[in-house]
Structure 1
């Protein structure tokens, strides 16, 4: 699926074929590097996808895909991408886990701003990644990636009402998981 998304960013068949070869050749290496840095499966996947976008911008530098230079370039791109993601992720000591515009009346999820230690952030991210995909994806996009609600609806091809329902249900499930881990009272 991710490969398909990357392919849509390229115009010529030649470049698509080149990216496909690079991706198939180095995806495991790139994932391993990203996972070693980020220590999280989903974050590592995101890093590889983002690195794929950067590879597209540098396709001309991959003259011989099987060369050591190409391998090193792919590794360097994903390494820098993962390090930037880790730095960005660790900067936040506060996470906004509630949006007033999507607050449903019966939703008693979390305080508007929940101050977290880095360990608590890791546990929350882990809980979100364990949710059913239709709930976890929305929570991830909204609160981790900080994507606008309309953009989430467009990306997932769902209605605003469906978005609000999934968001509310996802928050309730996440709330239960956080209570089980004694992160909420």
Structure 2
């Protein structure tokens, strides 16, 4: 918890330094998602992915953004109805790339899903007992924002969807 709190504090500093490089997002996500397939299968989850073949060049700190992807995928693993599947989609509108990760959840413990981004928020009993500090989504949102992107959340009919908007390289 102390490490996560330190990380959150560091990321909210105006002096945060990113190690920015040009990355082809489709290839990076294929690699990250591929690593999760056996992890998900062990708990009764299948990945249903739709990742564009289009070269989507973005400028990012790869280590920090992979941390965001890992956090969202691990949350999907922890809180999904099992057995079921995780939907992963990556597409583009030519200006931004949009990555969405969706999973089926039972009753969401909040009326306003944006509360999940609040520091220390752990709404349901499972979240309180998982040993987490309630900082993972707040840290993820901050990492995306310092990259100039967006991280949003939506909940409709058992499906919880996180969407990251990445700016494409001009």
TM-score exceeds 0.5: no
Structure with the larger strand share: 2
Q: State the structure with more CA Rg.
A: 1
Q: TM-score scaled by structure 1?
A: 0.25
TM-score under structure 2 normalisation?
0.26
Greater fraction helix: 1
